[in-house]
Amino acid sequence: MADITIPQNVFYIIIAVIAVVGLIVALMQWRRVRESQSNVQFIEKQAELKKIELVERDLESKRMMENVFPLPKDQQERLSEIRKTTSEIMHKTGYLHGEVNERVTRLEARTEYIKLQQLLEEIDKKEKELDKKTKNSKDSKQVQAVKGIKGGK
């Protein structure tokens, strides 16, 4: 067998190329990691700003609720009357809605009952017709049998 020998300079060049490729791969990975870290930091800061914005809105709404000026006595009474009549109307509406639903249910049941009665009448008619046909066929068979016994045609 022949010994394959690589000159020492070529060996160093191959090792250098492998090292450069490894270094390039390592740098690319490091760059990706840095980009991901910066993206995560950016998203964290956005979330923090959203939280701050929500807190500010909440504080503003509380401030607005505290600064509500009181209504005059007659307007407060009118507002309470409006609320009372609104609740009464809502109660009546709920009651009437229930009544309508109950009547619709009864009407549906009644129409279904009428349809079933009609179907039953149709079935009875068909049954009677079938009975007549079977009686006629039995009678004609009996007549033919009697004629056969007597010898008539």
The verdict on residue 127 lying in a domain is yes
Whether the Cβ atoms of residue 101 and residue 107 lie closer than 8 Å to each other: no
- Give the per-residue pLDDT at 24: 97
Residue 79, C-beta contacts closer than 8 angstroms, at least 6 positions apart: 71
The verdict on residue 15 lying in a domain is yes
The verdict on residue 20 lying in a domain is yes
Are residues 62 and 21 part of one domain? yes
Q: How far apart are the first and last CA of the chain?
A: 120
Number of domains in the chain: 2
Are residues 96 and 51 part of one domain? no
> What share of the chain in percent tops pLDDT 70?
86
Residue 4, C-beta contacts closer than 8 angstroms, at least 6 positions apart: none
What is the rounded distance in angstroms from the CA atom of residue 144 to the CA atom of residue 153? 8
Statement: residue 5 has pLDDT above 60:
yes
What is the rounded distance in angstroms from the CA atom of residue 41 to the CA atom of residue 34? 11
Boundaries of domain holding 15: 7-66
For residue 141, what pLDDT band results from cuts at 50, 70 and 90?
low
Lowest mean pLDDT among 8-22, 80-94, 132-146: 132-146
Are residues 108 and 62 part of one domain? no
Secondary structure of residue 78 in the 3-state scheme: helix
Q: What is the DSSP letter of 7?
A: -
The verdict on residue 77 lying in a domain is no
- Residue among 130, 131, 153 at smallest CA distance from 143: 153
Lowest mean pLDDT among 81-95, 97-111, 136-150: 136-150
The verdict on residue 81 lying in a domain is no
Whether the Cβ atoms of residue 79 and residue 71 lie closer than 8 Å to each other: yes
Residue 71, C-beta contacts closer than 8 angstroms, at least 6 positions apart: 79
Are residues 61 and 18 part of one domain? yes
The verdict on residue 150 lying in a domain is no
Tokens of 135: 């009686």
- Give the per-residue pLDDT at 72: 83
The verdict on residue 76 lying in a domain is no
- Give the per-residue pLDDT at 146: 55
pLDDT in tens, 61-97: 888 777 766 778 888 889 899 999 999 999 999 999 9
What is the rounded distance in angstroms from the CA atom of residue 78 to the CA atom of residue 84? 10
Mean pLDDT within 31-45:
94
Q: What is the mean pLDDT of the chain?
A: 87
The verdict on residue 1 lying in a domain is no
Better pLDDT: 141 or 111: 111
Are residues 101 and 59 part of one domain? no
- Give the per-residue pLDDT at 136: 80
Statement: residue 150 has pLDDT above 70:
no
